[in-house]
Structure 1
């Protein structure tokens, strides 16, 4: 009886040991969890675009604005380290480096030393990169993502730094700073020597197995009301097609530049037409995000321009000579032809969009993007 009990006990222990070993073997045989794919990042900047400019899309647009697609909306404060009212250079540098800097600075901190930009950081993570602008591609906003200079007007140096930056897709103006330089250098040869597809005549189909650069104006592109055509939407479509044909994640900055210029010129027609162009471009990008949900889209501006407001539309009564309101219309008013210190809207959609709600400093946009990228 005693021997039978011992045998049963040993058998039970052996079975338990076997079960543990079997469980360990089963656990060890499980495949490791796959890391989530790195998200695409699209930063769409409407230079000079505050809440009143966005509002024109609702009062002057022909269709429902694409801005209505956003559920995650915030505001950012634009002041730089030297001025309460910032410029595009310091504003874009805050986005690109995560640090506030001084007015006119490009890709450098308050100490004038270079800072790594979000574009440069993501290149080290295997990202493809792209830049689109209606201005010269050496202008303050696009330059802040690849260049490091102490003053925004150093266009030839900025152009040289672009030739060394290995950006995969570039579209904008600025031919004069690449081919007609005071130092005699021909930066076109530099791009071609690095295998770029270069076009200075037309927005041709990008070559998917090469880097691409399109420089289609001596300096900035014309305004929409001056006959620019569909450059911004077509360049955005081409860029999204290019990145879709590459397996790597991508970072792209797109700038609608002329909302700012409409404010500087206090030109209502220019401002409205450029916001409409921004809205169309936004629609294209939103379609991409819907089809590619592992994408973060952030839409914002570096500052507001013009002190714009929307108010009563007044006309003169031909009988009395008095001003009277037309209740069926609204008017665009400008308080200044300069930048202002208004808080700027931030619209986000896609992976990590919830991080962009609230009110925060402009340089936090960099850190919020990094949060999304680094947790993947």
Structure 2
């Protein structure tokens, strides 16, 4: 009798507990919704043009402080080939990032049949995002142009500049004055920017105006390299943009290009390469500080390709008496295999919300899709 009376009692207790759990589930789910996670996500996309692992390694061998790259835990590798060439150029590489679609060499924001493809910048603009594009080259150069323009060839600078006027980018910083005010068609695009209520400066990085778009076009073509006297333009313009976006209180997408790492490879100039990586590294540190204090932000850092077939190897000193080379154990040398792009896999670093999605090995156009998936936007 005792055994028979305990079983129904146990069932009553179990049923009661089940009712309690089921009854609490909807309320728990509703209360667990996180206002931070539901808020639109900021995306900062940094591109070190021509920056492969050897270039990044220079930050550790030649830098005075610990590299900002040490602050990443989520790292992947991307494959850079375009549709037309196993060895990509910057135009096809940046277009893969911006549209999620591989295309042909020299294409800017268009498919293999030259049809315009919506970029991630344009897509997020439609959802109320602020947008920014920063480059050390002309703002019409291949990498920045791929995020707002659509032309069949990267050298169509005047048409790219014309498209920038209608692109409604909120924060613009770079070079390329001559494509705006010294044009073959006689147009002065700076006048058109002013008519669109831009705060425009063609001389210096003056303070951005909150509530208005801001454009800084500070050189006829590209800005100088670091070894030719460029100061802290990349770090300063990036900090200004971050402050500007914070004041306007809306989510943002920003692309930042460290352009001359690539040029150092083309020139086979180790000093130029090292100084440009250092400059990019310092700017990266500023961005990482921002991400750590703004947790609803995703930072992705990569390159369109590697330039120079660079390696870090032994450093030798020639004995003046014997003429023999002797290794200097405490030093290294930057070696160049060519003055062109290479096909090596390129690292992808990610930090912030959704950073874990960027681990693994994948095609370069997957970075676009991964960013949208983190936004729950695909």
Alignment TM-score, normalising by the size of structure 2:
0.91
Q: Take 1:114 and 1:209, find their aligned partners in 2: how far apart are those partners?
A: 30
Q: Take 2:114 and 2:213, find their aligned partners in 1: how far apart are those partners?
A: 31
Q: 2:76 aligns with which of 71, 74, 79?
A: 74
Render the CA deviation track for 1:118-171: whole Å, top value 9, x for unaligned. Answer: 000000111000000000000000000000000000000000000000000000
Q: Take 2:320 and 2:201, find their aligned partners in 1: how far apart are those partners?
A: 56
Render the CA deviation track for 1:75-128: whole Å, top value 9, x for unaligned. Answer: 100000010000000000000000000000000011110000000000011100
Shift in Å at residue 307 of structure 1? 0.3
3-state secondary structure, aligned to 1:104 = coil
Shift in Å at residue 358 of structure 1? 0.5
Q: Take 1:166 and 1:374, find their aligned partners in 2: how far apart are those partners?
A: 24
Q: 1:261 aligns with which of 239, 260, 263?
A: 263
Q: Take 1:246 and 1:373, find their aligned partners in 2: how far apart are those partners?
A: 20
**Counterpart of 2:344?**
342
**Superposed counterparts of 1:274-285, under 5 Å:** 274-285=276-287
**Counterpart of 2:247?**
245
**Counterpart of 1:6?**
none
Alignment TM-score, normalising by the size of structure 1:
0.91
**Counterpart of 2:300?**
298
**Counterpart of 2:17?**
none
With over 3 angstroms needed to count, the CA separation of the structure-2 counterparts of 1:342 and 1:177, relative to structure 1, is: same
Shift in Å at residue 324 of structure 1? 1.1
**Superposed counterparts of 1:157-236, under 5 Å:** 157-236=159-238
Shift in Å at residue 32 of structure 1? 11
User: Are 2:70 and 1:64 equivalent residues in the alignment?
Assistant: no
Q: Which of structures 1 and 2 has the bigger CA Rg? A: 1
**Counterpart of 1:9?**
none
**Counterpart of 2:290?**
288
Shift in Å at residue 315 of structure 1? 1.1
**Counterpart of 2:317?**
315
**Counterpart of 2:116?**
114
Report how many aligned residue pairs link the two structures.
353
> Where does the alignment leave 5 or more consecutive residues of structure 1 unmatched?
1-22
> Where does the alignment leave 5 or more consecutive residues of structure 2 unmatched?
1-22
**Counterpart of 1:85?**
87
**Counterpart of 2:55?**
53
Structure 1 residue ranges (4+ consecutive) displaced by more than 4 angstroms after TM superposition: 30-35
Shift in Å at residue 345 of structure 1? 0.6
3-state secondary structure, aligned to 1:328 = strand
Q: Take 1:32 and 1:226, find their aligned partners in 2: how far apart are those partners?
A: 54
**Counterpart of 1:329?**
331
Render the CA deviation track for 1:41-64: whole Å, top value 9, x for unaligned. Answer: 000100000000000000000000
**RMSD value over aligned CA atoms?**
1.8
**Superposed counterparts of 1:89-168, under 5 Å:** 89-168=91-170
Q: Take 2:143 and 2:247, find their aligned partners in 1: how far apart are those partners?
A: 27
Shift in Å at residue 319 of structure 1? 2.9
Render the CA deviation track for 1:245-267: whole Å, top value 9, x for unaligned. Answer: 01110000000000000000000
With over 3 angstroms needed to count, the CA separation of the structure-2 counterparts of 1:314 and 1:185, relative to structure 1, is: same
Render the CA deviation track for 1:237-290: whole Å, top value 9, x for unaligned. Answer: 100110110111000000000000000000000000000001000000000000
Q: Take 1:249 and 1:235, find their aligned partners in 2: how far apart are those partners?
A: 18
